[in-house]
Structure 1
Amino acid sequence: MLFLLFDLDGDRYALDAAGIVEVLALAPTKSIPGAPAWVAGMFERQGAAVPVIDVSQLALGRPAQQLRSTRLVLVHYNAGDGVEASTREDSGEPVNLLGLIVERATQTRRIAREQFAESGIATPHARWLGPVANDGVGLVQWVEVQQMLTNEVKALLFPQAEAVQPAAGS
């Protein structure tokens, strides 16, 4: 599998390249009042608003550094809404775009799925931290994008998902 590697204060993390739509230079975002601090805001892509998460703020409690290697990575995100123009060709599932601001995103690496193993550490407040692998350079942890947003944040960033959910008791 191919991964885009990025860095959080010296620790390395990996995004599955199969879920990446585009890697962009850091772009300005419009804030979203009432959103958690780690929601950097939204930006416009091809006429559509795309919510953006600051992964450094989410993981470390500080905003991403404005480095040359800081990138805005657009990923497929299945909000479970059933309402989206694009679908993943491999699964037919509806997807939304989600932007991730990541630091030091300068390398890709092939790592076999079998090399990853559970860390053995429970991270209930960071469900998005997946298994770890040693790629010969050191440990790298797989970031599970689909686990990044709580239901409350999903409802804020992808309100169309709430609109199509059946009402309780119906």
Structure 2
Amino acid sequence: MMLLLFRVGGEQYGIDCASVVEVIPRVNVSKIHQAPEFVAGSFNYRGTIVAVLDLAQLLQGTPTPVAYSSRTIVLEVESPSTRGRLLGAIAPKVTETWSVPKEARWVDRPIHLEQVPYLEQTILCDRGTVRPLRVDRLLCDPAIAALFDDSNR
């Protein structure tokens, strides 16, 4: 498995590169009024309006800073109801891709939190800990799933 790595605070996270369509410089987004704080807005991606999450806000409650290493990640959301749909994610300190070594140890969270089903495990390895973010599980959050509700369009 190959992960696109980013950092929020002192934590290192990764997104499976199989979900990544493109990594682009941070883009300006149009605000979606009344949306939760972690919904940064939306933008036009090649003729498609794509909702954008702020991963730093979602994961640790602080907005992604405007910085050279902050990026917009265009993701394909894979679920039975959203196959082929796109989601944007602004992330800080997007620096590299990393191939998870076979000897890395995957550890389940010690406490199950229903509010964060997209962070089920931690990878323990020579680079410390990496928390893989499950893109397919983001839609377990009703506020994120609502961004894909076609009845709202």
Fold shared by both chains (TM-score > 0.5): yes
Q: Runs in 1 of length 4+ with deviation above 4 angstroms?
A: none
Equivalent position of 1:38 in the other structure = 38
Aligned to 1:72: 72
SS of residue in 1 equivalent to 2:94: strand
Between Structure 1 and Structure 2, whose CA radius of gyration is higher? 1
Q: Which amino acid in 2 is paired with 1:54? A: D
Percent pairwise identity = 29
Residue equivalent to 1:120: 110
1:80, distance to aligned residue in structure 2 (A): 4.2
Q: Which has the higher strand share?
A: 2
> 95, 108, 114: which one pairs with 2:84?
95
Q: Provide the residue aligned with 2:15 in structure 1.
A: 15
Question: What is the aligned length?
Answer: 150
**In the alignment, does 2:23 pair up with 1:5?**
no
Distance 2:143 2:39 in 1: 12
Of the structure 1 ranges 48-57 and 129-138, higher mean CA displacement relative to structure 2 is found in 129-138
CA drift of 1:130 comes to 2.5
- What TM-score results when the alignment is normalised by the length of structure 1? 0.81
Instruction: String of CA shifts for 1:86-113, please: whole Å, max 9, x gaps.
Output: xxxxxxxx22100111111101111147
RMSD: 1.9
Unaligned runs of 5+ in 2: none
Give the TM-score of the pair, scaled to structure 2.
0.89
Deviation at 1:159, TM superposition (A): 2.6
Query: Structure 1, unaligned stretches of length 5 or more?
Result: 83-93, 164-170
Aligned partner of 2:119 among 129, 152, 163? 129
Does residue 29 in structure 1 map to residue 20 in structure 2? Answer: no
